[in-house]
Amino acid sequence: MSDVIVSTELADRVALLEIEGDYARLFDTRNGAGWANLFAEDGVYQGAPIPGIAFATPPIVGRANLAEACDKMPGSSIHMLNAPQISLAGDTATGRIHFVFENIHVDEHRNSHQMRIVAYYHVEYVRTADGWKIRNRVTVPFSVENVSRCGYQNDISLPGPAVDR
């Protein structure tokens, strides 16, 4: 293998690693435009449909829709990504990235909601005139946990006879 090929492959791998680092940071800081720009113009983010599980993120297609989805994600989140496994094939590549995602938000009633996902991303990348971009990203869950906390409820109307409080 020539030094030029090795150098190009190394540069491609570093570029894809940068995309993954930017992916987590830009989403978690709700920078929708920056996050969406990591995708090809017609790029797709979606959840994998799992038999017997009622939820999966439907395909979100195109940068405008991706940016809006990122910007509108409620609460605060963090991605904890493992090192990606990357396979290069000329101007395309695939990756698998295991990760944990946590999101916490407080609703208008002051109830807190936490979601934790352990999963992997299956990612298809494409080299464009603007460099490497995500063509398709699929979240494949291992586990999904949702927890809501209402806090102590003292000032609510309860059914039944009145009780001195």
- Give the number of domains in the chain: 1
Express each pLDDT in 10-19 by its tens digit.
Answer: 999 999 999 9
Structural domain includes residue 162: no
Q: How far is the C-alpha of 92 from the C-alpha of 45, rounded, in Å?
A: 17
User: What pLDDT is recorded for position 165?
Assistant: 53
Structural domain includes residue 164: no
φ, ψ (nearest 5 deg) of residue 25: -65, -45
Strands 39-47 vs 131-149: parallel, antiparallel or unpaired: parallel
Express each pLDDT in 115-143 by its tens digit.
Answer: 999 999 999 999 999 999 999 999 999 99
Residue in 121, 131, 134, 130 with CA at minimum distance from that of residue 40: 134
Question: Which residue range is the domain that position 23 belongs to?
Answer: 3-149
For residue 60, what are the contacts with CB-CB under 8 A and spacing of at least 6? 44, 45, 46, 66, 69
Q: Supply the pTM of this predicted model.
A: 0.86
Give the three-state DSSP class for 66: helix
pLDDT < 70 regions, the chain: 1-6, 162-165
User: What pLDDT is recorded for position 164?
Assistant: 61
Structural domain includes residue 160: no
Structural domain includes residue 11: yes
Structural domain includes residue 159: no
User: What pLDDT is recorded for position 3?
Assistant: 59
CATH number assigned to the domain comprising residue 133: 3.10.450.50
